[in-house]
Structure 1
Amino acid sequence: MRQIPDEFVETLRQRIDIIDVVGEYVQLRRSGRSYVGLCPFHNERSPSFSVSPDRQMYYCFGCGAGGTVIRFVMDIEGMTFAETVVRLAERANLPVPESLEEQIPSAAQTDRQTAMKEAHELAAKYYSYILMNSSAGVQALAYLEGRGISKTTMAEFRLGFAPNAERRLIDFLQKRGFESQLLVDCGLAVALGPQIVDRFRGRVMIPICDGRGQVVAFGGRALQKEAKPKYLNSPETPLFHKSSVLFNLHMAKRSIRQTQTAVIFEGYMDVISAWQAGLRSGVASMGTALTEDHVRVLKRYSDRLTVAYDGDEAGQRATSKVLNLAREEHLECRVVQFPDGMDPDDFAREFGATAFVRQFQVKTLTEVQFFIQAARKTANLESPAGRTEYMRQVLSLLGERASPIERDEELQRLAQEFHVSRDALDQELRTIAKTSRRRDAHKSERESHVLSTPVLTAEVRAGNYMLQSLLLHPEAFDWLLQHEVMELPLPEQTALLANLYAFRMEHREGSPVRFVESLEDPNLRRLATSLAVGEESEFDEALLMDCLRSLRLQELESRYRNKLQELVEVTLAGDAERVMIYRQEVENLQQEITRYRTPQA
């Protein structure tokens, strides 16, 4: 962000109307001077999402999402700052500045990657036509319909079929000007000596798209039982990186935001069956284990993840790995259980859409419950030693992973099932829990940075008004400095004040939009946005003085209470000299409080 000239970003904001951009994702209606709609970042029935055309900012009073048009596109599309600036610059017909050239592909790279994407798009259309409109696709069509996939779903996922011929796709694309080497490099063809042949033959074709919905790769499912491998994916290419691409993310991300939960499946058909059953927030990794990059991509859209892997032993082992990885990235996880030997697709086909969706409602475990269940499967509960070992495993899990409520529930279950006193379990847990203290400390530190929604006392409202004045009215800068306002009631208010002072010193007349975009801390950005899009206020020195008086009075009263307590303590201690000193300080504080309570003060 620092490498992009501020002047360019400012010009870009002036060229782009936030109402036009947000309106492509949210149905907005005018309400006074703002526009309101249902928030695209969380699920709600009553609109709490507000967009201000005057401020060119948005804010959700339900979930706290907020910012400028650049932040909106970054969050809704999961893009970087540079990528967003480039996209909006193209929309506004603004030439991209030189400082962005190193952050985006060169013209030659862009042309080559564009050609690769065009080849994939044509390949998807070609495969789809073969499946739906030719005799060559009859067997594949029957296979998909036999798996319960409707033609509507086939069209939504752009499913196709690659005929069992060596050069059908290559001939199709070469007639349209695509070079042999490009087709090999982008994974659609394979070089066999001097010749090239189609990579995919005799397979049901599943297009894999990037976050924008552009086809960048394929997964091919063999129709012949003897064919190896059963699933064949495109290789790593300049367009496709398995460790960071998630199947169906481009269609699922809206539902993920609305439900605030992403569902991770093992395979394509699981995702497709779930979509057809009505569960629209499912994604899958590309024939590989879930990676850190995958988890970070999902975190752009939600902090909650539901794991819906196969019910067999391999699926359960993979689930354990996902839970541990997600925990490192601070994702809240749940696990959906399927009967042994069944995958989600099998379950949906055998029991139907209603039962499939209900499985996510009634068969969902917390990560602690999942690990306890896994421990129970291997425990020897017939022997006293086996029972003791099992209980210690559960207590260890509770100490490391469980919330206080979940810990209490599981301890009650253990005590009842194994006829052990609750006191004994508590004592054992305290001993075992030492290993998890560092993790709990890290969790507490992380949670302490989350912006809470405090009770808006008079002092908090006064602090917010001062911040709003400084944000919206540059003249408030001199007034606040003159009156030495350096601290506000809440830590996040004080932090935002420091950022605003630094901003006003460098950009005396800088716009609120420019300031909000400069904030890297998401919690401070939410607070600043809520103030910017709130009820507009004029610069009012008298009201600022009232706010300052309220804050100073609170500070004095706090000091008075503390000093009074100290006076009581030294009086009881019989320290006559300190009693005289403290008594004088208490009287001085009383006088100051009286002055601040007097309107003329």
Structure 2
Amino acid sequence: MAKIPEEKINEIRQSVDIVDIISDYVQLKKQGRNYFGLCPFHGENTPSFSVSPEKQIFHCFGCGAGGNVFTFLMDYEGISFQEAVIKLAQKSNIPLNIEHGVEQKSQKTSKEYEQMIEAHELLRKFYHHLLINTKEGQEALEYLKQRGFTLESIEKFQIGWSLPNWDFVAKLLKRRGYSLPLMEKAGLLVQRNNGEFIDRFRNRIMFPIFDEKGRTIAFSGRALDGNEPKYLNSPETIIFHKSKVLYNFHHARSSIRKFQQVVLFEGFADVISADRAGITNGVAVMGTSLTEHHALVLRRMTDQVIICYDSDDAGTNAAFKAAELLQQHGCQVKIAQMPMDLDPDDYVQKYGAEKFRNEVIDGAMTFMAFKFLFYRRGKNLQNEGDRLQYIEELLKEISKLPRAVERDLYLRQLAEEFSLSLEALKSQQRQIFYAQKKKNPQAWKPKTNYIAVEQKLLPAYQTAERRLIAHMLKSEEVAYKVKDLLAGQMFNIDEHQIIFTYLLAYYEEGYEPNSSQFLNYLRDERLRAIVAEIAMIDVEQEDNDQVLQDYVYQVIKQQKMMKIKEKEVKKLEAERQKNHLLAAQIAMEIIELRKSL
């Protein structure tokens, strides 16, 4: 790619707010001067990921990741520095005047991967064109309209239609220069026993599946002619992993951020129907149970989740498991109950969008209220055995509730429903609580939302070096003052000395003090992470020469201590060799060094 001028990079960096950019990927909450959230670079349930709007940098106290707005995009999306610059330039409407076609793909991305993405993008446009603009697609278009789909929905979700021909797509891809065996690996074609390649999707309404960047990675095709299966999905490929994809996440991200809530559906058709009803923060799993990865992705965006699955046994069980998983990841979960034999798509068709929003989504119950219904299934509560089992199951669940008010509320509900003594229920609930706590102490530790910042107890000289660098990042004058105070001595930590050398070079080239800009100046990822961490140190109250002198003293003192240790080893060696004159001479040198401490 043609080199982007440094001035243009700085213009782009200054035009965006790192908090706004990162908020598209992580739910951030203000705490003091900084914002905190769950780190997107490692799994965690307690926020340790910090973003500084003042310094325009981020740092994770858990895994050590850190940098500025460019490095965040590079690390999160796996793109190059130039691609991150271009992405932010487009977001800020800043022209780069780079010729079309000079962009190079990230070195991390394989050629096969990119060709699969390109082929899916081509077919998404082709299928959509067939549905909207051709006679052949009219039957499919009319079917969708009868099902309540609007042209706006069809456009937004890029719904299309595939021809009934056996090999039209195979021939199209071949003409465009794609390898047919690779397209078979991509899930777009099927190879017959005779070696011939045919289209996987024929005479089907085509629903494209997008990744979180909005790229087409798979399709789901609904049969129009009664063929089985009713829905035919792309197989797993190197670009499509069902356990990692949430349908509509790329569209819903901004609404999730706006409403601080996500609605989780069981299938993509439900998401589209809900979108027509004004529920724009809906996502869905892709024919699989909710996974750890799904839960992590959702938790980074919000801690408020409404689950809206079908009300049959399979849907109810799936909702329960999904809610438990999300709760383990720190989410507040509600369950939107659908009437029996209706999925969200059917409900919107039958009762309309407004009723779906007001009665189903807004009327969602707490997870605990859902458990009252869940454990009731299949039991005859007139039967004493079933009734006792039901009460005990609920007492176990009530014992897991963190707040006393919640526990009291649900215990009173049980007592009232079955005409039981509240004190007896409380007594049994406490017995269950302590029995479970003894069995698994870790599971019963109270959850906290406080920021988990690991307090590293560092040696005095290392703390001194870090705080000196923090001061130097804020002031060119201080940087040169520290250089004079060191008088040719070096930092004890190699990385700190390298950062110090780079920082002096940065100032010598005429740059102003700016932590975020200095991170662009550094090309080593390890050094950038260290600088991001050090830049987060608050040194506002230490702005005087005496503090700097004290820190420099600790740096030089460590070097003298190391020399003393080296001389003590040499003194012992001289004594071992019975060279008493040399041993006495070294001892005098050690005494002089100790005096200078």
Report the TM-score range of the alignment, normalised by the length of the smaller protein: 0.5 to 0.7
2:307 aligned with 1:311: no
Give the count of matched residue pairs.
Answer: 464
The residue aligned with 1:170 is 170
Report the alpha carbon displacement of residue 331 of structure 1 after superposing the two structures with TM: 3.1
More displaced stretch, 121-130 vs 302-311? 302-311
More displaced stretch, 468-477 vs 245-254? 468-477
User: Matched residues in 2 for 1:67 and 1:430: separation?
Assistant: 48
Tell me, yes or no, if the aligned pair for 2:246 and 2:294 is still in contact at 8 Å.
yes
The residue aligned with 1:279 is 279
Report the alpha carbon displacement of residue 393 of structure 1 after superposing the two structures with TM: 1.3
2:108 aligned with 1:104: yes
Distance 1:405 1:54, change over 3 A: closer
User: Matched residues in 2 for 1:364 and 1:54: separation?
Assistant: 40
Report the alpha carbon displacement of residue 271 of structure 1 after superposing the two structures with TM: 0.6
Q: How does 1:85-484 map to 2 (within 5 A)?
A: 85=81, 87-88=83-84, 104-105=108-109, 109-110=110-111, 112-192=112-192, 193-225=194-226, 227-401=227-401, 403-437=403-437, 441-442=442-443, 444=445, 447=448, 449-450=450-451, 472=474
Give the match's secondary structure for 2:400: helix
Tell me, yes or no, if the aligned pair for 2:412 and 2:422 is still in contact at 8 Å.
yes
Report the alpha carbon displacement of residue 305 of structure 1 after superposing the two structures with TM: 2.5
TM-score normalised according to structure 1 size: 0.66
Report the alpha carbon displacement of residue 234 of structure 1 after superposing the two structures with TM: 0.8
User: Matched residues in 2 for 1:468 and 1:520: separation?
Assistant: 13
User: Matched residues in 2 for 1:440 and 1:113: separation?
Assistant: 46
The residue aligned with 1:80 is 76
Report the alpha carbon displacement of residue 406 of structure 1 after superposing the two structures with TM: 1.8
2:12 aligned with 1:17: yes
User: Matched residues in 2 for 1:102 and 1:83: separation?
Assistant: 5
| Unmatched segments (≥5 aa) in structure 2 | 1-5, 36-50, 60-65, 90-95, 99-104, 454-466, 486-492, 504-513, 549-597
Q: Which letter does structure 2 place at the counterpart of 1:224? A: D
Report the alpha carbon displacement of residue 278 of structure 1 after superposing the two structures with TM: 1.2
Q: How does 1:24-39 map to 2 (within 5 A)?
A: none
Distance 1:471 1:409, change over 3 A: farther
More displaced stretch, 290-299 vs 193-202? 290-299
User: Matched residues in 2 for 1:445 and 1:515: separation?
Assistant: 38
Give the match's secondary structure for 1:358: helix
Tell me, yes or no, if the aligned pair for 1:208 and 1:219 is still in contact at 8 Å.
yes
Tell me, yes or no, if the aligned pair for 1:116 and 1:186 is still in contact at 8 Å.
yes
TM-score normalised according to structure 2 size: 0.66
Tell me, yes or no, if the aligned pair for 2:71 and 2:81 is still in contact at 8 Å.
no
Identity %: 32
> Cα RMSD (Å) of the superposition?
4.6
User: Matched residues in 2 for 1:235 and 1:169: separation?
Assistant: 17
- Bigger relative contact order, structure 1 or 2 (CA pairs below 8 A, ≥6 apart): 2
State which of 534, 537, 543 in structure 2 corresponds to 1:539.
543
Structure 1 residues 555-577: Cα deviation after superposition (integer angstroms, max 9, x where no partner): xxxxxxxxxxxxxxxxxxxxxxx
Report the alpha carbon displacement of residue 203 of structure 1 after superposing the two structures with TM: 0.7
Report the alpha carbon displacement of residue 57 of structure 1 after superposing the two structures with TM: 4.3
Distance 1:305 1:448, change over 3 A: closer
Distance 1:408 1:173, change over 3 A: same
Tell me, yes or no, if the aligned pair for 1:157 and 1:206 is still in contact at 8 Å.
yes
Structure 1 residues 28-60: Cα deviation after superposition (integer angstroms, max 9, x where no partner): xxxxxxxxx99995799xxx99x999844489x
Tell me, yes or no, if the aligned pair for 2:19 and 2:53 is still in contact at 8 Å.
no
Report the alpha carbon displacement of residue 195 of structure 1 after superposing the two structures with TM: 1.0
| Unmatched segments (≥5 aa) in structure 1 | 1-10, 27-36, 60-65, 95-100, 453-464, 483-500, 545-601
Q: Which letter does structure 2 place at the counterpart of 1:80? A: Y
User: Matched residues in 2 for 1:43 and 1:348: separation?
Assistant: 35
User: Matched residues in 1 for 2:108 and 2:262: separation?
Assistant: 29
Tell me, yes or no, if the aligned pair for 2:248 and 2:284 is still in contact at 8 Å.
yes
Q: Which letter does structure 1 place at the counterpart of 2:172? A: F
Structure 1 residues 67-95: Cα deviation after superposition (integer angstroms, max 9, x where no partner): 73146647xxxx6375475742676999x
